[in-house]
Structure 1
């Protein structure tokens, strides 16, 4: 297995660790003890996503975290220190929340599928991070919540991703009560795909990544973009849009190769775009 190396050489303890294995990139939040999404962490992760978006070699991204918590969301200590600013923190709050929103959009718009690997608590913007990934696999001891309402701060930006991943009334239940839900409930709500024992988490996630990475890179990129694009349309618009996407996809070299492979009873050989 490849060594995990820091994102930035000037940081002895990289805030985001990266490991490449074949066509799969594993990014690990490394901001203990709570993996809070400080400005530095979000900038580091955004930088990694910008870099991988340009890669033809990476086909799947895994987003994991070190330590006992997946992520506790925004760094409250960092936010609080700026209440002493002349504007009572407004400019810094705007910077932090906007950076977080832009990070979630990068995950959504990344050409490669992203799998969240969760072991522990994912709360507030940490849950927003999970909900913004394409797939989510967690341990049976993982927990999830949007607790902002408990401290007088409704989780409005996490709400955007959570309300698109979970059923509306169940998303609102989390947002209004601030209560923590277990892994089983999170799966019922639609926030995670699979629940596995802790000792098998990485093995299962790696298997999912390998299966997806074995597919046509052209089809993966086209499909992810189309999935989120049609979701914002009416059903009539969605079918018109998807029809055009399907035709363009059929004209791609991988589609020709895939169909020829089926007819020739052989394994397809995909080409990088």
Structure 2
């Protein structure tokens, strides 16, 4: 498979493609894998171009923590709030709109932006020692980006409590709440995630992408009309394949 992005090193991350699935690894372990602006922009561009090469994308991180949020201290030139937040929105949009399956492998701490990144993947595998913290409210910042996705994951009372208190949620509770897909022993997390990515790539990738697209579409269909929508979608898939 020819891929110009196989085995590249970007600002703060590594990327490779293997047998039809891509692996994006955050690589700033000494900084808690915090995401700076240059790193954010480069990863956004990667997400926009890689669907032609990778049907499944795994996001993991080097070191003991997944991601402690954004690098807030790097801004040296004053910009408007809109311009400051626009790269974040662009990254989240590119991740959410990635047509293939996206998988997060979360170890250690995920905070703020790290939680938002994990939320926007289709599958989230967490180490049994992982934790999730939304600390924006305690710092006086409303977490609008995370809330835009979190409302689809949590019961309203879990949502409000986690957002407003900023308390840390450990992996077992995160699993029970619906923040993660499943947990694994820390030593087995990355091998499990890699096996999952490999098992859903290759010949299965188009089927996986069709299921992902259909799940998004069917949510918007009234319940009484869902069987008709399912009949149409099933027929179109059969004809196209």
After TM superposition, the score normalised by the length of structure 2 is: 0.88
Q: Please name the residue that 1:60 is paired with.
A: 56
Query: Once the 2 structures are TM-superposed, how far is the Cα of residue 52 of structure 1 from its aligned partner?
Result: 1.2
- CA–CA distance in 1 between the matches of 2:228 and 2:111? 38
Call closer, same or farther: CA 1:40–1:174 in 2, change over 3 Å: same
With normalisation by structure 1, the TM-score equals: 0.79
Q: Distance in 2 between matches of 1:96 and 1:245?
A: 40
Counterparts of residues 155-234 of structure 1 (less than 5 Å): 155-213=143-201, 215-234=203-222
Provide the C-alpha distance between the structure 2 equivalents of 1:167 and 1:27, rounded to a whole number of angstroms.
Answer: 30
The number of equivalent residue pairs is: 235
Structure 1 residue corresponding to 2:142, chosen from 143, 147, 154: 154
Counterpart contact for 2:106–2:124, Cα < 8 Å? yes
- The yes-or-no answer on 1:74 pairing with 2:74 is no
Out of 200-209 and 30-39, give the one that drifted further. Answer: 30-39
| Residues 1:107 and 2:95 are matched in the alignment | yes
- C-alpha change, 1:54 and 1:236, in structure 2 (3 Å) is farther
The 5-angstrom pairing of residues 239-258 of structure 1 reads 239-253=227-241
How far did residue 237 of structure 1 move?
A: 5.2
Q: What residue ranges of structure 2 are gaps of 5+ in the alignment?
A: 1-5
Aligned partner of 2:42 among 41, 44, 55: 44
The structure with the largest alpha-carbon Rg is: 1
Q: Is the 8 A contact 1:16 1:44 kept in 2?
A: no
Distance 1:96 1:215, change over 3 A: farther
**Structure with the larger RCO, 1 or 2 (CA within 8 Å, 6+ apart):** 2
Q: Show structure 1 runs of 5+ residues with no match.
A: 9-13, 254-273
Q: Distance in 1 between matches of 2:237 and 2:188?
A: 36
Partners of 1:18 and 1:27 within 8 A in 2: yes
1:22 correspondence with 2:19: yes
